[in-house]
Amino acid sequence: MDKYTVTVNQPIKLVGNDKIRIRGRHTEQDGMLAFDWSGSGFAFNFVGTGFIISLGAYTHDCPAYVKITVDGNHSQRFAVVNGSEKLIIEGLSDKRHRVNVLKITEGEPKLKFDTVTLLGNGAELRNPPFNSPRRIEFIGDSITCGYGVLGLPTDPTYFTYQQDVTRSYAGITAERFGADARFIAISGKGIVCNCNGDRTDIKTGEYYNRQSRTGGICNDDWTADVVVINIGTNDCGGPAPNDEFEAAARDLVAKVRERYPEAHIIWLYGMMSQLYSEVLRDTLRDISKKDEKVHFMFAETMYGNEAETGANGHPNVRASVRVSNMLYKKIRSLTGWRNKVTIPEEE
């Protein structure tokens, strides 16, 4: 066979396939894997020279973006406008490869993944990648989603190509630890009101236990070692009164503790607003008298620092790295984790 000939094999369904490792909360829709949380997706190992991923129909005003990483070092972003696109990686060495596929932008229309078609003579799926023994859950808003993180301070509006959850402080921290991460975050939301001061909008405590952004209850057995809460910036839109904010903060911590009885809970605050810094510090300090695994962490604001500003007044990658450095040290001190964990390539 000459070098210009590529063997295209039969499509392989992703739903119900025990060689596919799911990342994050997901559902199934129209016989396909469906994801709407940022940073959710799937992983697989295969032998071959490439692959083609087929999607289901997708409808939204803005494109969704998917990041595919091969062997931990080569990443490529793909825009999805209507779901007819094919996500193609080709020209790889004919050997075993590890693939990670993540939805890196947010949005309630679910992004559906139907099949993977392997390229190469004798190409096949192998056993799925191991899960990391380290697990971190991030609860937040636009800051955690990576809203505007790839934009410039001169960009007054936001487009989805400027968003990448893996370049947020949360994504960077998870990657540095080699942790399996979940991102339960929706832009503009708060614990009392949203960024426009609307108290009728869904609140973090209401969507926290959802399987998807729009509903269902997550009751899987995934357990976090560390939970990082970065919420409260949008409550400034009210602003929410301190007593209501404190009550909502206590309620959210209680929900997290009920879900993960042994996890360290870190409430990180200050990147875009410092209005509730004292309330959170005092509230978390009080909770920690009975629960020593609850912590408060203050982050200096990025406001006034153009070098740390991305699109629409949000943190850029530089700001994300600064805060990730702080959070990395905090998590290390609590868990004893050192460096990036080495994970076997497959089960």
Domain ranges of the chain: 12-125, 135-335
Q: Which of 120, 7, 118, 113 is nearest to 56 (CA)?
A: 113
pLDDT of the residue at 303: 86
Identify which has the larger pLDDT, 340 or 159. 159
Q: CA-CA distances (angstroms) from residue 297 to 280, 286, 327?
A: 9, 14, 8
Cβ density class 35-57: b for 16+ within 10 Å, e for less: bbbbbbbbbbbbebbbbbbbbbe
Of the candidate ranges 50-59, 91-100, 150-159, 256-265, the one whose mean pLDDT is the lowest: 150-159
| pLDDT level of residue 6 (50, 70, 90 thresholds) | confident
In contact, 45 and 127? CB cutoff 8 Å: yes
Q: CA-CA distances (angstroms) from residue 198 to 29, 63, 238, 340?
A: 31, 27, 7, 41
pTM listed for this prediction: 0.96
Report the CATH number of the 12-125 domain.
Answer: 2.60.120.260
| pLDDT level of residue 346 (50, 70, 90 thresholds) | low
Largest CA distance in the chain: 72
Multiple choice CATH, 135-335, 1.10.340.30, 3.40.50.1110, 2.40.50.140, 1.20.1440.230: 3.40.50.1110
Judge whether residue 1 has pLDDT over 60. Answer: no
Which amino acid would we find at residue 163?
Answer: Q
Judge whether residue 311 has pLDDT over 60. Answer: yes
